[in-house]
Amino acid sequence: MSYASSRTAAAPAGPTGLGAAARAVPRGRRSRGPLGRADGYVGSMGDQRGAVKRGTWETVAVAVALVVALPVAVWWLVGQRDYEGLPESELDYAVRPWDIDPTVEFAVGLNALLIAVGAAALLVAWSRTRRLPLYWWSAVGPLLAAGVVAALGHRVLTAGTVGANIGAGLVAVLGTTLVLVLLAVGLGRGLYLLRRPPR
């Protein structure tokens, strides 16, 4: 047997060889981050983690802006719901409305509306380009619903009426429960996706 033949026979044939191990790891394979998109290359862990962190928290920041701004915008657009035809001193209130200067209320409400529209447009655009996977809306949606219910409920609670405010009682019982459930679902789902995103 020749020397070349003996070297060929001694080479490992199974997957335990270094050559097979090198072939088992494809070069340039992209990994998936918490937002479902390719964030970096295997092998550059520092760059990969930095890209994942930047992309994740940029999206979270925009989502938080929408969750905070939308209820304020809805609250401002609905406005104070008092019984018409009577002065405020003759109306009954379950909860007194906030004493806010109309100019300040207008400025805050308008800015909240602009932020909500911009953030929603950005998140929808990211969803269309797959930067924001659709499953993230399972966390954002309940939080948005909780904020809208809370904004509408506050307007019902602070509405000036003649006699008992039946709607205030319903809001205090059913509305509060609904808001708490929606907050628990949205926050729980969001934390789960941040820690263990679907693959």
**Where residue 92 falls among pLDDT bands split at 50, 70, 90?**
confident
For residue 40, the model assigns a pLDDT of 40
Residue 123 has pLDDT above 80, yes or no: yes
- Segment 132-140 long-range contacts (CB within 8 Å, at least 24 positions apart): 132/35, 132/59, 133/35, 133/36, 133/37, 133/198, 135/36, 135/193, 135/198, 136/35, 136/59, 136/63, 136/193, 138/189, 139/186, 139/187, 139/189, 139/190, 139/193, 140/63, 140/66, 140/67, 140/186, 140/190
Q: For the CA atoms of the chain, what is the radius of gyration?
A: 28
Contacts of 31 (CB under 8 A, 6+ apart): 38, 39, 40, 41, 42, 48
pLDDT for 76: 94
The pLDDT score that the predictor gives to residue 91 is 72
